[in-house]
Amino acid sequence: MDSNSPIGVFDSGLGGLTVLKELRRLLPHENFIFVGDSARAPYGSRTPEEIISFLQQFMDYFQSRGVKMAVCACNTMTSYGYPVIKDKTSFALVPMNPAIIPAVKASANKHIGVIATEATIKKGMHKQAASNLDPQIKVFGVGCPKFVPLIETGHIHDDAIDEAVQEYADKFKTSDIHSLILGCTHYPIISEVLTKHFGKDVALINPALETAKDAATILTKNNLLNTQEQSGSLELRFSAKQNNSEKMAEIILGSDIPPITDVDLTTFAK
Q: Which of 20, 59, 71, 74 is catalytic?
A: 74
pLDDT tens column, 163-189 = 999 999 999 999 999 999 999 999 999
Which one has a higher pLDDT value, 161 or 269?
A: 161
Clarify whether residues 203 and 216 are in a common domain. no
Distance, CA of 219 to CA of 215 (rounded, Å): 6
Distance, CA of 182 to CA of 64 (rounded, Å): 32
Stretch 141-145: mean pLDDT, rounded? 97
Question: What is the pLDDT, as a whole number, of residue 269?
Answer: 67
pLDDT tens column, 49-108 = 999 999 999 999 999 999 999 999 999 999 999 999 999 999 999 999 999 999 999 999
Question: What is the pLDDT, as a whole number, of residue 270?
Answer: 53
Are residues 106 and 170 in contact, defined by beta-carbon separation less than 8 angstroms? no
The answer to whether 184 is a known catalytic residue is: yes
Calculate Rg over the CA atoms of the chain: 18
Q: Which of 59, 125, 129, 184 is catalytic?
A: 184
Q: Give which of 215, 210, 268 is closest to 91, Cα–Cα.
A: 215
Annotated binding site: 11-12, 43-44, 75-76, 185-186
pTM, full prediction: 0.94
Q: Give which of 183, 182, 71 is closest to 125, Cα–Cα.
A: 183
Stretch 108-127: mean pLDDT, rounded? 96
Question: Which residues are paired to 204 by β-bridges?
Answer: 180
Identify the band that residue 245 occupies on the pLDDT scale cut at 50, 70 and 90: confident
User: Where in the sequence is the domain holding 155, given as residue range(s)?
Assistant: 100-207
Clarify whether residues 92 and 214 are in a common domain. yes
Clarify whether residues 200 and 107 are in a common domain. yes
Annotated binding site for substrate: 11-12, 43-44, 75-76, 185-186
Clarify whether residues 67 and 166 are in a common domain. no
Stretch 37-58: mean pLDDT, rounded? 93
CATH number at residue 113: 3.40.50.1860
Domain count, the chain: 2
Burial of 162 from C-beta contacts in 10 A (0-12 / 13-18 / 19+): middle
pLDDT tens column, 199-213 = 999 999 999 999 999
